[in-house]
C-alpha cells in the first residue's frame, strides 16, 4: 500500500510525515478551550456585581470599627474650629452689654441776646437703675434751665436733677418718662482693676454717637484739675481710650461689659480741649455714693 504524506508547503518534501490526530484527541482539545471561553464569559458577566460587593464590604469595614478620639485630638479640633470663626472684639462685647443703658444728655438755657432757648452743652449719661436713675457729670448740666434725655430706643424725656456730688463732678438725674424695657447697666468694683486692663468708653463726642472707643487702663488713683482750675478731682482712673467733649458723664466699661467708672475729663496741655491720649474717669464706687447706694 502506498503511504500518503502531508507537508506544510504545496510541494511534497521527502521524509516529512504528518500525523493525523485521532477524533478523540480533537474532541478533548476543543472541550477545554470551550470551557475556558465559557468561564471567561461568566466572569465578565459577574464583574459589576463583584465590584459592587467589594465596595459594600469596604464601606462596612470602615463603619464597623468606630474611631476612638483622644481628649487631645478633640481639643485640637475645637481650637481649629474656633480659629476659623472670628469672635467679636472686647470693645464690641462691652458695647453690646451697655448700649441699652446709654443716654444722650442735653442742657438748655436761654440765649441772653435773643431770649430763645438754646443748647448749652451735650454730654452722656448711663442708666444705673431701671426706674430711670441716670448718672452724668455736673459740668454737663450745670446752670441748665431744662435737661433733655434721649434713650437708646429713641425715646426723649425731660429730666430732673435730683442729686450732686461736687467732689467727684457727679450729678444724678431722674427721667420723667421711662421706656418700658429700660436696661440698667451692671456696675463693677474697681478693686480688681489694674493698669493694662482693657476698657471701652461709650458716649457722644461733639454730639456724635453713640460712639465707641477702646483702650487700656493707664493708671489708678490719679489727681486732676478741671480746665478752669476750680476743682481738684482725686482717685481717678486714667485711661487712653479716645474721649472728647460730649463723652463727659458716659460709662467706662471693662472687658465684661460692666461699668467701672464715669468719664469726667481729659488732659491737654493746649487750649484746644481735644484728646491727646489721657482721659480720666471717676471710679464707680464714688458714683454709687452720689446716688446714695452703698459702695461695693
Residues belonging to the active site: 139, 169, 248
Q: Let me know: does 249 contact 140? Beta carbons within 8 Å.
A: yes
How far is 84 from 76, CA to CA, in rounded Å? 13
In the numeric block, the cell 425731660 is attached to 158
What proportions of the chain, in percent to the nearest 5, are helix, strand and coil?
A: 30, 30, 40
Backbone Cα Rg of the chain: 45
How far is 287 from 271, CA to CA, in rounded Å? 29
How far is 83 from 71, CA to CA, in rounded Å? 18
Structure-block grid coordinates of residue 115: 431770649
Q: List the beta strands (DSSP E) in the chain.
A: 102-110, 117-129, 133-137, 146-150, 156-165, 170-175, 198-203, 211-225, 232-239, 251-254, 259-266, 279-283
Amino acid at each position: 500500500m502506498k503511504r500518503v504524506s502531508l507537508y506544510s508547503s504545496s510541494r511534497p518534501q521527502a521524509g516529512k510525515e504528518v500525523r493525523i490526530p485521532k477524533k478523540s484527541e480533537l474532541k478533548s482539545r476543543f472541550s477545554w478551550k470551550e470551557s475556558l471561553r465559557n468561564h471567561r464569559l461568566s466572569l465578565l458577566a459577574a464583574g459589576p456585581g463583584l465590584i459592587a460587593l467589594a465596595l459594600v464590604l469596604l464601606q462596612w469595614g470602615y463603619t464597623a470599627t468606630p474611631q476612638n478620639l483622644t481628649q487631645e485630638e478633640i481639643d485640637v479640633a475645637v481650637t481649629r474650629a474656633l480659629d476659623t470663626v472670628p469672635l467679636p472684639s472686647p470693645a464690641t462685647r462691652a458695647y453690646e452689654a451697655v448700649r441699652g443703658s446709654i443716654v444722650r444728655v442735653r442742657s438748655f438755657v436761654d440765649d441772653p441776646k435773643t431770649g430763645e432757648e438754646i443748647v448749652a452743652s451735650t454730654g452722656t449719661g448711663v442708666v444705673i437703675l431701671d426706674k430711670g436713675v441716670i448718672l452724668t457729670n455736673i459740668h454737663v448740666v450745670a446752670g441748665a434751665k431744662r435737661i433733655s434725655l434721649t434713650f437708646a430706643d429713641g425715646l426723649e424725656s425731660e429730666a430732673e436733677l435730683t442729686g450732686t456730688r461736687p467732689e467727684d463732678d457727679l450729678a444724678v438725674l431722674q427721667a420723667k418718662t421711662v421706656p418700658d424695657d429700660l436696661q440698667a447697666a451692671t456696675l463693677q468694683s474697681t478693686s480688681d482693676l489694674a493698669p493694662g486692663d482693657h476698657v471701652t468708653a461709650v458716649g457722644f463726642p461733639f454730639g456724635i454717637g453713640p460712639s465707641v472707643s477702646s483702650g487700656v487702663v493707664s493708671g489708678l488713683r490719679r489727681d486732676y484739675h478741671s480746665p478752669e482750675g476750680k476743682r481738684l478731682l482725686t482717685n481717678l482712673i486714667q485711661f487712653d481710650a479716645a474721649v472728647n467733649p460730649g463723652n463727659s458723664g458716659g460709662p467706662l466699661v471693662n472687658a465684661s461689659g460692666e461699668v467701672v467708672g464715669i468719664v469726667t475729663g481729659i488732659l491737654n496741655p493746649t487750649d484746644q480741649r481735644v484728646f491727646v491720649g489721657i482721659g480720666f474717669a471717676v471710679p464707680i464706687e464714688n458714683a454709687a455714693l452720689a446716688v446714695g447706694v452703698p459702695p461695693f
